[in-house]
Structure 1
Amino acid sequence: MDIIANCSGYGVIGACEDQDEFEIRNQFETNFWGTMNILQLSLAYFRERRDENGEREGGKYLIFSSTSGALGVPGLGPFCATKYAVEGLIESMLYETDAFGIRATLVEPGHVRRDDPPSPTSRATPLPTFGHFSIKPASAPYSSPTAPAGHAKRMLQWLGDKQPTSAVKAAELVWQLGHCSYPPLRLLLGSFAVESVRDRLRCVTEEIEDWKWLCFKEGGEQGTGGRESGNGGGGGG
């Protein structure tokens, strides 16, 4: 076994306030714990792998995350939380397992169209475009046509054939990634993924620069929230 691809993913579309504990726990059970279970069951195998010369061979993980693991999406709060958790898990794990030759990539698809051609010999019913999401009926405060909580639901209405990013082409890229000796930590698929994550990182950087004066001063002095050493106090923060 050379590569493990983890594709577990399930989400409920609806405002954070509208989703109950059962729905939120189910999303974590599938998205986070599903990933954690696969890692814990397979890491020992990859750690012990050796090539024909007895050298460490390790292995690769392809962990399907989402652009929702890099930015918040109204209407997908708990789903985003699970993907953020997965991203933190994988990034931390790689520090621990790098010496064993273990590699992992977080695959972050954006909006893609389902362009896989139906098989002429298959009788199977095609999967719905986004069958891994269920839509929660909105409560009154979040039910207006322009409510931000309905963004994810509205997004589904213009996905599919209208997206420039091909699911088949994306799958080909992921296949090639499996044969990459030094794969990236994150692979963004599609122009929406690249542009939206880049915009979000730009906003984070700008906010840090705008507010860094409040966090520290020149010469190592504490910021305005801490006590000055001359007052006999300890640190603040």
Structure 2
Amino acid sequence: MSRIWFVTGAGRGIGAHIAGAALAAGDRVVATGRNLGALESRYGPYGERVLCVPLDTAREADSATAVAAALDRFGRIDVLVNNAGYGQLGVFEEIAAADVVRQFETNVFGLMHVTRAALPVMRRQRSGHVINLASVGGFMGFAGSAVYCAAKFAVEGFSESLALEVQPFGIHVTIVEPGFFRTDFLDTSSVRYGALAVDDYRRDMPDGRTYESYNGRQPGDPARLGRAIVQLAGTAEPPLHFVAGTDALGMLDGALQRRRLEVDAHRALSASTDGDF
């Protein structure tokens, strides 16, 4: 039986590749995004197998409307992919408070809005799979990415806790932690930088745009990532975490080693904080 996928940010990038891989596997897709025309142009050839729905994840009402439309067409949602988002880069002091809020409204609260709308469907089904796109910036920090990493760390904590809450209903949660993939994530059409300027930081980061030169040179293939995610969704026991890319694997290995060394170096002091009974 074909599965029904609900993919946010399906108009381009990783979201489009996940939707395309699901369709290639014979499944059906609810493709959502802010630009309905772009969605219809991309997915029109698939006919009735795809439902294109406008969705701005930062607006909670949009999520309920989009999920209702998915149920009207397909009657169920088997896999929810929370992919929509963008990167707010730049050093923390150069990012205005309003831009921090906007990052969380899309990358965190938007993801929660869609999940909240879809979970009642999955609970009634007693089955489902929520796939949340995090990042290597969800398990380690990067200079010039404090706000983006903060949002992705939030996605990780939310997802790990959610997995425990929904497991009794037959619902799985997977956190995808990609390294650098060749998408438009670092293009000017997607990424945003801080609008403020603090001279002290200019010595190491002349214009605050530490990742711009990496655009187009990322090692990851988004089409292969899309196929890998579809493969994971087809397993009986999908993982809670999926690290994508050899660069991500290397970064995770290093982060775990650094954390272990740090914990061991202060283990006695940590233990000394217990009280006497």
TM-score w.r.t. structure 1 length?
0.77
**Within the alignment, does 1:90 sit opposite 2:159 as a pair?**
yes
What one-letter code is carried by the residue in structure 2 that aligns with 1:10? Y
| 1:41 corresponds to | 117
What one-letter code is carried by the residue in structure 1 that aligns with 2:227? E
Question: Aligned partners of 2:202 and 2:144: how far apart in 1?
Answer: 11
After superposition, the C-alpha distances for 1:154-184 in whole angstroms (9 at most, x for unaligned) are 3231231x33321111111112122122111
| 1:188 corresponds to | 243
Question: Aligned partners of 1:191 and 1:148: how far apart in 2?
Answer: 29
Question: Aligned partners of 2:206 and 2:139: how far apart in 1?
Answer: 18
Query: Secondary structure at the residue paired with 2:212?
Result: helix
Question: Over the residues paired in the alignment, what is the CA RMSD in angstroms?
Answer: 2.1
Which residue, out of 204, 211, 219, partners 1:164? Answer: 219
Runs of 4+ deviating beyond 4 Å: none
Distance change in 2, residues 1:163/1:47 (3 Å): same
**C-alpha contact (below 8 Å) 1:112/1:159 kept by paired residues:** no
Question: Aligned partners of 1:46 and 1:32: how far apart in 2?
Answer: 21
Distance change in 2, residues 1:143/1:205 (3 Å): same
Structure 1 segments unaligned to the other structure (5+ residues): 50-55, 115-126, 217-222, 230-234
**Within the alignment, does 1:103 sit opposite 2:161 as a pair?**
no
Question: Aligned partners of 1:36 and 1:178: how far apart in 2?
Answer: 20
**C-alpha contact (below 8 Å) 1:75/1:149 kept by paired residues:** no
Question: Aligned partners of 2:185 and 2:116: how far apart in 1?
Answer: 32
| 1:134 corresponds to | 192
| 1:112 corresponds to | 181
Question: Aligned partners of 1:128 and 1:176: how far apart in 2?
Answer: 24
Distance change in 2, residues 1:24/1:100 (3 Å): same
What percentage of aligned pairs have identical amino acids? 29
Q: Deviation of residue 135 (structure 1)?
A: 2.2
Question: Aligned partners of 2:206 and 2:140: how far apart in 1?
Answer: 15
Question: Aligned partners of 2:215 and 2:145: how far apart in 1?
Answer: 16
**C-alpha contact (below 8 Å) 2:186/2:211 kept by paired residues:** no
After superposition, the C-alpha distances for 1:75-111 in whole angstroms (9 at most, x for unaligned) are 1101111111111001001111111000011111101
Q: Deviation of residue 20 (structure 1)?
A: 1.2
**C-alpha contact (below 8 Å) 1:111/1:159 kept by paired residues:** no
Which residue, out of 198, 201, 223, partners 2:253? Answer: 198
Q: Deviation of residue 132 (structure 1)?
A: 2.6
**C-alpha contact (below 8 Å) 2:87/2:185 kept by paired residues:** no
Distance change in 2, residues 1:163/1:213 (3 Å): same
Query: Secondary structure at the residue paired with 1:112?
Result: coil
| 1:176 corresponds to | 231
Question: Aligned partners of 2:185 and 2:161: how far apart in 1?
Answer: 34
Question: Aligned partners of 2:205 and 2:266: how far apart in 1?
Answer: 30
Distance change in 2, residues 1:16/1:192 (3 Å): same
The structure where helix makes up a greater share of residues is 2
| 1:143 corresponds to | 202
**C-alpha contact (below 8 Å) 2:163/2:172 kept by paired residues:** yes
Structure 2 segments unaligned to the other structure (5+ residues): 1-76
Q: Deviation of residue 22 (structure 1)?
A: 0.1
What one-letter code is carried by the residue in structure 2 that aligns with 1:66? S
**C-alpha contact (below 8 Å) 1:75/1:148 kept by paired residues:** no
What one-letter code is carried by the residue in structure 1 that aligns with 2:161? S
| 1:21 corresponds to | 97
Distance change in 2, residues 1:183/1:83 (3 Å): same
Question: Aligned partners of 1:142 and 1:28: how far apart in 2?
Answer: 24
What one-letter code is carried by the residue in structure 1 that aligns with 2:213? Q
| 1:212 corresponds to | 267
| Count of paired positions | 199
Distance change in 2, residues 1:38/1:100 (3 Å): same
